[in-house]
């Protein structure tokens, strides 16, 4: 009987291999083979307590292997062409179905001199992609019971001269406040002295610029909202924003290569930002290294530095709700306005567009850096592109890439693998 079972097992193994190209029959046959082996094993004598030992590796077949290879090849081809045709200079990470399919670095840290090739673990200034982390800090304080989204801003910054603005208005860009950059350009005479968040608040208190709208009337994206949110974090915790972010956000998330750039304590700014990857402005005459700016002392709306791997760790935490409780975390992806101004909306640190339903994203542009962070939860896709040029040519093709359905992958057997070479 046992000998006959062995022959049957060999027969079914050959049978399984012959039908590997047909997924439906493969699954049926593998299941049937498993059942047959169990029955055959029942006729064998096993030592007491040894349990049933099956040749698992021969039974479970990665039916998505061909699709993964095909998808990976398409991704590689897309970004190679983007580098060639649009001048992609930076790092890329693409994940789908819980698998990191592609990680690659293109170009140079010093583009104007073509010196020092960019490395995959290089840190880039995130520009406005920083806002999602400021929002995450505010949501963390909310989860800890230290603030409510509908609290008035003046509860935490009582000297601020505008009434009726809530924390939620700031998160959703519905405060109606005008640009702090314009105010600074008009009233900050020495551009070698870095400005801080407290300086921004002082300028609004002193000059009281006319708001664009009353609070809560409409969505109007403006950086000052997230500057004020960072200040709220500081007022509540008594910590500098950069310290709070490191201790309460980056370290718990395992984002060991991320930090908030700070000019705190700096009397005069230097000519250039002292980071390995330099930002570059592009002109007809070529690339020029972007200079340090007095507004880089203002935090919350920009000046976070990170890597593609760290940002993917954050994306995995969002997918699994492993940093904040699900009911709190998912509020970040809820449109904050009933109206969609020019087809756009905003959650807590994340953008939405009616052109790309079910996708949440944020792009950034500041002083020679452009960044792109796009999540497509419905299809399990995450795309992170960090560049050190001011070129916008990279951005538009990314949407066609994200929406490509010619090759679709099933979820990985172990989701959200954080395995990097």
Which are the catalytic amino acids? 128
Report how far residue 374's alpha carbon sits from residue 398's, in angstroms, rounded to the nearest whole number: 9
Report how far residue 119's alpha carbon sits from residue 104's, in angstroms, rounded to the nearest whole number: 8
Contact 289, 135 (CB under 8 A): no
Report how far residue 59's alpha carbon sits from residue 42's, in angstroms, rounded to the nearest whole number: 18
Query: What tokens appear for 165 in the block?
Result: 């603005």
Nearest of 236, 235, 171, 151 to residue 201 by alpha carbon:
235
Strands (DSSP E) contained in 343-397 are 344-346, 351-353, 360-366, 369-376, 381-387
Report how far residue 158's alpha carbon sits from residue 390's, in angstroms, rounded to the nearest whole number: 38
Query: What tokens appear for 19 in the block?
Result: 């039908």
Contact 226, 300 (CB under 8 A): yes
Contact 297, 196 (CB under 8 A): yes
């Amino acid at each position: 009987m046992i000998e006959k079972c062995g022959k049957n097992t060999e027969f079914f193994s050959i049978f399984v291999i012959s039908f590997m190209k047909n997924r439906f029959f493969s699954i049926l046959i593998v299941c049937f083979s498993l059942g047959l082996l169990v029955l055959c094993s029942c006729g064998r004598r096993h030592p007491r307590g040894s349990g049933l030992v099956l040749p698992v590796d021969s039974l479970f077949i990665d039916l998505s292997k061909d699709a993964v290879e095909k998808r990976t090849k398409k991704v590689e081809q897309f970004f190679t062409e983007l580098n060639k045709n649009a001048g992609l200079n930076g790092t890329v990470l693409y994940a789908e179905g819980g698998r990191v399919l592609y990680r690659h670095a293109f170009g140079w840290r010093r583009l104007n001199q073509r010196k020092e090739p960019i490395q995959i673990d290089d840190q880039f200034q995130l520009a406005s992609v920083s806002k999602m982390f400021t929002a995450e800090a505010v949501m963390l304080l909310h989860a800890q019971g230290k603030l409510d989204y509908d609290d008035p801003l003046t509860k935490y910054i009582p000297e601020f001269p505008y009434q009726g603005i809530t924390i939620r208005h700031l998160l959703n860009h519905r405060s109606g406040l005008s640009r702090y950059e314009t105010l600074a350009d008009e009233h900050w005479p020495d551009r070698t002295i870095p400005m801080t968040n407290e300086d921004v608040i002082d300028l609004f208190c002193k000059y009281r610029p006319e708001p664009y709208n009353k609070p809560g009337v409409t969505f109007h994206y403006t950086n000052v909202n997230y500057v004020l949110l960072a200040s709220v974090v500081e007022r509540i915790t008594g910590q500098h924003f950069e310290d709070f972010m490191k201790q309460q956000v980056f370290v718990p998330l395992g984002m060991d290569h991320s930090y908030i750039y700070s000019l705190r304590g700096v009397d005069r700014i230097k000519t250039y930002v002292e980071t390995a990857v330099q930002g570059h402005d592009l002109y007809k005459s070529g690339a020029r290294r972007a200079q340090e700016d007095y507004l880089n002392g203002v935090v919350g709306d920009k000046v976070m530095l990170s890597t593609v791997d760290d940002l993917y760790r954050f994306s995995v935490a969002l997918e699994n709700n492993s940093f904040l409780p699900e009911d709190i975390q998912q509020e970040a992806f809820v449109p904050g306005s009933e109206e969609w101004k020019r087809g756009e909306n905003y959650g807590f640190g994340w953008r939405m567009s009616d052109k790309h339903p079910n996708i949440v994203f944020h792009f950034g542009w500041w002083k020679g850096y452009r960044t792109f962070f796009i999540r497509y939860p419905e299809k399990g896709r995450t795309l992170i592109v960090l560049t050190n040029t001011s070129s916008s040519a990279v951005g538009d093709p990314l949407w066609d890439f994200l929406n490509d359905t010619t090759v679709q992958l099933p979820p990985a057997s172990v989701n959200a693998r954080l395995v990097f070479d």
